[in-house]
Amino acid sequence: MFSATLITVVAAFAGVSWGILGGALPGISPSITMALLLPLTYSMDPTAAIVMLASTYVGAEYGGSIPAILIRTPGTNAAAATVIDGYAMKQQGRAGEALGISLYSGFVGGLFGLGVLVLLTEPLSTLALAFTPPAYCALGVLGLSVIASLARESLVKGLMAGVIGLMISTVGTDPVTGLSRFTFGSPDLLSGVPAILVMVGLFAVGELLVQSTERGWVQPAPERARIRFPGPALWRRIALPQAIGSVIGTFEGLMPGGGGAVSSFLAYNEARRWSRHKEEFGHGSPEGIAAPEAANNTVACTALVPMLSLGIPSSNSAAVLLGGFLMHGLIPGPMLFVSHAEVVDGLYAGLLAANIAMVIVGYVIMGPCIWLVSRPRPYLTAFIYALVVSGVFAIETSLFHVGLVLAFGVVGFGLRYVQAPLLPMVLGVVLGFMVESNYRRALVLSSGDHMTFLQDPVSAVFLALALLFVLGSVIGHARTRRRQA
Amino acid sequence: MRLALLVLAVVALLVSSVAAQARYPKSVVILTTHSSPGGGSDVFLREMAPHLSRVMGITVVVENVAGGSGARAMAMMAKAKPDGGTFYATTPTFIYTSLLSSPAARYTDLEPIVNVFFDPEVLYTAASSRFKTLQQVIDQARGGRGRWGAGNPASLERQALERLKQRAGVSPVVATFEGGGDMLINVLNQTLDMGIGELQEIRGQLDAGRVRLLAVVGDERLMQFPDVGTVKEQGIDLSVRKFRGLAGPKGMPREIVAAWEAAVPKLLADPAYRQLYTRNNLQPGFIPHAEYVKFMSDFGGQTQAFLKQSGVIR
Amino acid sequence: MTRDLGFGCAGLALAGGYYALAAAIPDSALADAVGPAGLPAIYAFVLAGLSLILIAQSIRGRPVAPVSAAAPTAPASASASQALLRPVGLLLMGAVYVSVVSSLGYVVSLAGLIFAVTWYQGGSVTRQAAIVSVAGAALFWVLFVRLLGIPHPPGVWPDLF
């Protein structure tokens, strides 16, 4: 018994460390990080193997926020929302504080997700079945409605960026006919433009290009190379955004589709809506880090609900974990809890260990990470550039993608030049495919009747919410303008 | 799955009990797959590798060359040396990719070696649904009220459903999804009357008694489910064969091909492996080289005809 | 407001080009009522409409975007043309990397990229910079190729020896 516990703890630590490494490298997604471990786990004890893979997922979801905060490069899709306020805090010399909030919020979200997984798997798996194509489409629309409030600076330019994002999402294989669209016959574009590539191009490469125009830049304020966990006052302030993130992450984990990225954006937006310090968002708000980070670490646990109980992976990462189960002759589904209860219990214990391991490993590596980004600017720029070209190549081992990320760097530079917000474009890319494929699928199933979106209860609720959000944003927009006029 | 990378994993094995046999010219053989680690083909190959290593007295390594839905793996394989050191694990995907996009190398640029397995495709519905037989589903579809689902838009499964529509003379809507799991949800919540997929994908639900098999889309019934009839038995001439075999670069020497023709039946008869693949619902489907070449070109021809007829390609 | 005008024109051009591509998507018997070109056409029209609004606003001189401290920093207009050339150089280095990495190999190309970018960003050409570049490239190789197994191109070197 003792040795089994020890193996679980060791597997959790190894998995989390590996996950943080992979998650922190842009282009190495959580699923790739996990997949790289699969061959190793083949010869391991099944429980240890599963724990290690699941811990990698937990570590990777946290790891993605490190470069997002420090070098404006989201390491994973789900860390894109963290870029906004995390990098703003870094520029104010508060990187240690930002990383502390991210780590702490990830831990809270992870524990919440684990609690949900252990206690509520059965009822939630029924809920997962309530999601039909109209409901998915409506969820995507709800996500897109966020654009209206993200684009405060200029609604027109924000919407333009969002539509361009939607256009990017249509590149690749058509979801209904299988035709190749906008691919120019290139197999490299057959599976679409990866969202992470767009994000790294817009944020990281765009930032490098903008920085290169600034002459006589000053060395950033010296960082205290220490991580700082939030004190009691801040603890109270970020409790609400963490709760918002955890709840949104729970539901998002259940559904196939956007994975952690959608939940991060929704959580960011809701945290701002309910915040008493709205004006700080975008300029280094702790809440703007707490909400998305709590959300994506919750997803890392709740994504296991449909995987374990239905045998249906809701994300690429969950699919790799499913592969890990199958390799050991374990077939996820309702019977798993009966036939291999010991593996399931071991996984739960391992996830608890993983969340604790995440805090310990995260704390230890934070100092060196902050030290690294405090190097002289020419070196820093060169190494970020090297990191981007190396990481993006890994997405599909394609040099074409490396060229593409440079092109998106130009787009990012251009958008900043004309003062258009970047996030709407990212949202368009992340949600475009989900909205289009489910919109068309829903119409196929209803034989072209649009009423299906109102007849489906889940869809109707989401669409009503989206409408409320957009109206609220537009009214707020008009009011601000009137005040300024 | 949209992830892509290359992993090299040396399968550790015990070569102590090598049976006396003709020596294969290579001590290490790499099997490439376009499936990413954890995907269907990848899991299948990794399970097969140690047994194949034992039977052939060599080390078999699985390498993932994901990306471009097989385009990258095909291009790499077409350029490889035909020395018996590398092979490509075939599935219908490589034919679809060849026909749908214009990859650097097509399936016709590769030499089919032998086939190993067939993956049974089944039609199924939710256990709680009112449909008990395939005929009831087809009756429902008469008059355009049916809703059927396939995992991916341009795939063998989609093709099978479209042909089922034609042959049964009904016009249900056919919805496609982002993979079998995505579709399974919609069968379980009865958005769909019926789905088509590999047995392996629905194993968890099948074990729990939440889905009901309606028919096998193959020539024979399955040994694990002898009660489930084939589509042909129900009077509709439809059968698809999702193959799993090997292909290599053109110009493969005769003796290497012969070595595989000898090894694969031995592998399929191996008791330890037999137990494993039976559990995974794979049907042994050895096809020797000469027939496999014809099989592949027929399969390619039929697929091309289907895609042209439906206007997906020109 | 010239920037808004430029963005508006670029948006209009993009919408036009994208629509042309969408219109060229062939018909398919497997298509649904919306079709593979259905939503793309809508996107193109929406983008064109938004672009026209932006153009109209900028011509009328109405402040579309109240300039706030939050707006991303754009290069100052003085000596703007020269400042705008600098990113082009940075991009070229990336492009050179992409074009030589297959033949020169990952480590050599990456060391070159790091060295060149360091110099370009105002670092001095010293022995230290050279050592950091080579060591950095080696570190990336260990991380990506050895540890993560990403097949970055080895270049022509293995064939030479």
For residue B237, count other CB atoms closer than 10 A to its CB: 8
What is the pLDDT, as a whole number, of residue B7?
Answer: 32
- Whether residue A480 is predicted with pLDDT greater than 50 in this model: the reply is yes
**Per-residue confidence at B198, pLDDT binned at 50, 70, 90?**
confident
For residues A217 and A249, give the distance between their C-alpha atoms in angstroms, rounded to a whole number.
Answer: 40
Residues of B in contact with A173 (CB under 8 A): 69, 100, 153-154
Ramachandran region, residue A178 (left: φ > 0; alpha: ψ -120 to 50; beta: rest): left
Q: Is C88 exposed, middle or buried (0-12, 13-18, 19+ CB in 10 A)?
A: exposed
Report angle CA C149, C155, C158 to the nearest 5 degrees: 85
- Whether residue A197 is predicted with pLDDT greater than 50 in this model: the reply is yes
Q: Between residues 259 and 288 of chain A, which touch chain B (CB distance below 8 Å)?
A: none
**Domain spans in chain A, listed from the N-terminal domain onward:** 2-484
Residues of C in contact with A208 (CB under 8 A): 90
Q: Please check whether residue C50 lies inside any domain of the structure.
A: yes
Q: Is A363 exposed, middle or buried (0-12, 13-18, 19+ CB in 10 A)?
A: middle
Least confident of A205-209, B127-131, C147-151: C147-151
Q: Which of C30, C31, C149 sits opposite B6 (nearest CB)?
A: C149
Q: Are the beta carbons of C39 and A170 separated by less than 8 Å? A: yes
- Whether residue A36 is predicted with pLDDT greater than 70 in this model: the reply is yes
For residues A21 and A28, give the distance between their C-alpha atoms in angstroms, rounded to a whole number.
Answer: 9
Least confident of A18-32, A56-70, A251-265, A453-467: A251-265
Radius of gyration of chain A (CA): 22
- Whether residue B18 is predicted with pLDDT greater than 60 in this model: the reply is no
Same domain, C55 and C89: no
Residue A159 is encoded by which pair of tokens?
A: 């919407």
- Whether residue B82 is predicted with pLDDT greater than 50 in this model: the reply is yes
For residues C39 and C32, give the distance between their C-alpha atoms in angstroms, rounded to a whole number.
Answer: 12
Q: Are the beta carbons of C25 and A383 separated by less than 8 Å? A: no
For residues A101 and B194, give the distance between their C-alpha atoms in angstroms, rounded to a whole number.
Answer: 48
Q: Please check whether residue C67 lies inside any domain of the structure.
A: no
Residues of C in contact with B154 (CB under 8 A): 30
Q: Between residues 49 and 78 of chain C, which touch chain A (CB distance below 8 Å)?
A: 50-51, 53-54, 57, 64-75
Higher pLDDT, B138 or A41: B138
Higher pLDDT, B165 or A479: B165
Question: Percent of chain B at pLDDT above 90?
Answer: 36
Q: Are the beta carbons of C101 and A399 separated by less than 8 Å? A: yes
What domain range includes position C20?
2-26+34-60
Q: Across residues A5-20, what is the average pLDDT?
A: 93
Least confident of A50-54, A477-481, C9-13: A477-481
What is the pLDDT, as a whole number, of residue A258?
Answer: 57
**Dihedral sign of CA atoms A376, A377, A379, A380 in order:** positive
**φ, ψ at A470 (rounded to 5°):** -65, -45
Q: Which of B5, B6, B311 sits opposite C28 (nearest CB)?
A: B311
Of A171, A180, A204, residue with least CA distance to A75:
A204
Provide the residue type at B203 as one letter.
Answer: R
Same domain, C48 and C115: no
Q: List average pLDDT for each run of 10 residues in chain C, which is 161 residues long.
A: 87 96 83 88 96 91 50 49 83 95 94 94 86 95 88 85 73
For residues A56 and B10, give the distance between their C-alpha atoms in angstroms, rounded to a whole number.
Answer: 22
Of B226, B70, B156, C145, residue with least CA distance to A188:
B70
For residues A39 and A31, give the distance between their C-alpha atoms in angstroms, rounded to a whole number.
Answer: 14
Q: Please check whether residue C98 lies inside any domain of the structure.
A: yes
DSSP string, A122-138: HHHHHHHTT--HHHHHH
Residues of C in contact with A378 (CB under 8 A): 117-123
Residues of C in contact with B7 (CB under 8 A): 149
For residues A134 and A438, give the distance between their C-alpha atoms in angstroms, rounded to a whole number.
Answer: 6
- Whether residue A230 is predicted with pLDDT greater than 90 in this model: the reply is no
Residue A126 is encoded by which pair of tokens?
A: 């029924």
Pairing of strands B173-176, B147-150: parallel
What totals of helices (H) and strands (E) does chain A contain, helices first?
Answer: 23, 2
Q: Are the beta carbons of A185 and B102 separated by less than 8 Å? A: yes
Q: Please check whether residue C79 lies inside any domain of the structure.
A: no
For residues A358 and A294, give the distance between their C-alpha atoms in angstroms, rounded to a whole number.
Answer: 13
What is the pLDDT, as a whole number, of residue B19?
Answer: 37
What is the pLDDT, as a whole number, of residue A223?
Answer: 55
- Whether residue A152 is predicted with pLDDT greater than 70 in this model: the reply is no
Decide if C24 touches A, using CB distance below 8 A.
no
The chains found to touch A (3+ Cβ pairs under 8 angstroms) are B, C
Give the count of domains, chain C. 2
**φ, ψ at A88 (rounded to 5°):** -65, -40
Same domain, C52 and C105: no
What is the pLDDT, as a whole number, of residue C99?
Answer: 95
Alpha-carbon distance values, A362 to A99, A373, B78, B160 (Å): 9, 16, 45, 51
Which domains, from first to last, does chain B contain?
8-119+241-309 (3.40.190.150), 121-217 (3.40.190.10)
Q: Are the beta carbons of B43 and A323 separated by less than 8 Å? A: yes
Question: Percent of chain A at pLDDT above 90?
Answer: 48
Q: Which of A39, A185, A313 sits opposite B181 (nearest CB)?
A: A313
Q: Is A219 exposed, middle or buried (0-12, 13-18, 19+ CB in 10 A)?
A: exposed
Distance from CA of A209 to the nearest CA of C (A): 5
What is the pLDDT, as a whole number, of residue B9?
Answer: 30
**Per-residue confidence at A289, pLDDT binned at 50, 70, 90?**
very high
For residues A481 and A476, give the distance between their C-alpha atoms in angstroms, rounded to a whole number.
Answer: 9
Q: Are the beta carbons of A333 and B6 separated by less than 8 Å? A: no
Q: Between residues 121 and 160 of chain C, which touch chain A (CB distance below 8 Å)?
A: 121-123, 132-133, 136-137, 140, 143-144, 148-153
**Dihedral sign of CA atoms A361, A365, A370, A372 in order:** negative
DSSP state for residue B230 in the 8-state scheme: B
Distance from CA of C129 to the nearest CA of A (A): 8
Q: Please check whether residue C132 lies inside any domain of the structure.
A: yes
Terminal alpha carbon distance of chain C: 60
Higher pLDDT, C61 or B204: B204
Distance from CA of A40 to the nearest CA of B (A): 8
Mean pLDDT over each residue of chain B, to the nearest integer: 84
Report angle CA B38, B44, B48 to the nearest 5 degrees: 130
Distance from CA of A163 to the nearest CA of B (A): 23
Residue C82 is encoded by which pair of tokens?
A: 């020269």
How many alpha carbons fall within 13 Å on the CB side of residue B307? 26
Distance from CA of C58 to the nearest CA of B (A): 41
**Per-residue confidence at B161, pLDDT binned at 50, 70, 90?**
very high
How many alpha carbons fall within 13 Å on the CB side of residue A316? 23
pLDDT digits (tens, 9 = 90+) for A329-386: 788 888 888 888 889 999 999 999 999 999 999 999 988 888 888 888 889 999 999 9
Of B285, B299, B291, residue with least CA distance to B96:
B299
Residues of B in contact with C29 (CB under 8 A): 309-312
Q: Are the beta carbons of C90 and A28 separated by less than 8 Å? A: no
- Whether residue A447 is predicted with pLDDT greater than 60 in this model: the reply is yes
